[in-house]
């Protein structure tokens, strides 16, 4: 069983047992999380498909927070031609690693 879920305005295709990286969530490590914003559910062969308008009714995805960490550094460069202007800065986005435990459709 696969599902398309909306987490923090990003869409992910998940199945049971997957680990996915999402933007930082407020939950602590080891905590369980449930997502009700399921956009679609389908089986392994793609024959039994449930589409939501916009979300599938009574569909939930339960996951467990594995860890929260900082990702690799992202460098941002701004440059204006012929104006002697350039600016470089970077940041490290915070991520949360989720373990998908169950999909209820």
Does a structural domain hold residue 83? no
Q: Is residue 29 in a domain?
A: yes
Task: Please give the structure tokens belonging to residue 95.
Answer: 């991520």
Residue 85 lies in a domain: no
Q: Residue 86 domain-assigned?
A: no
CA 100 remoteness from chain centre: 11
Alpha-carbon separation of residue 97 from 2, 29, 43, 100 (angstroms): 19, 9, 24, 10
Instruction: Domain of residue 55: give its range.
Output: 2-68+95-104
| pLDDT tens, position by position, 78-88 | 999 999 999 99
On whether residue 28 sits in a domain, the answer given is: yes
Name the residue among 91, 82, 102 with its Cα closest to residue 1.
102
With 90 as the cut, is the pLDDT of residue 29 above it?
yes
Asked if residue 77 belongs to a domain, the reply is no
| Residue 35 bridge partners (DSSP) | 61
Q: Would residue 38 count as lying in a domain?
A: yes
Into how many domains does the chain fold?
1
Question: Does some domain include residue 79?
Answer: no
Q: In the predicted model, is pLDDT for residue 45 greater than 90? A: no
Residue 46 scores a pLDDT above 90: no
C-alpha–C-alpha distance, residues 46 and 49, integer Å: 6
For residue 21, name the pLDDT band (cuts at 50, 70, 90).
very high
Query: What is the model's pTM?
Result: 0.84
């Amino acid at each position: 069983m696969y599902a398309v879920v909306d987490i923090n305005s990003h869409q992910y295709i998940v199945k049971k047992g997957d680990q996915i990286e999402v933007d930082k969530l407020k939950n602590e490590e080891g905590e369980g999380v449930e997502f009700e914003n399921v956009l679609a559910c389908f089986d392994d062969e793609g024959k039994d498909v449930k589409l939501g308008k916009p979300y599938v009714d009574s569909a939930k995805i339960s996951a467990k927070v594995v860890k929260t960490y900082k990702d690799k550094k992202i460098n941002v460069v701004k440059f204006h031609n012929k104006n002697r202007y350039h600016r470089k800065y970077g940041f490290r986005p915070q991520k949360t690693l989720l373990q998908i435990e169950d999909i209820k459709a």
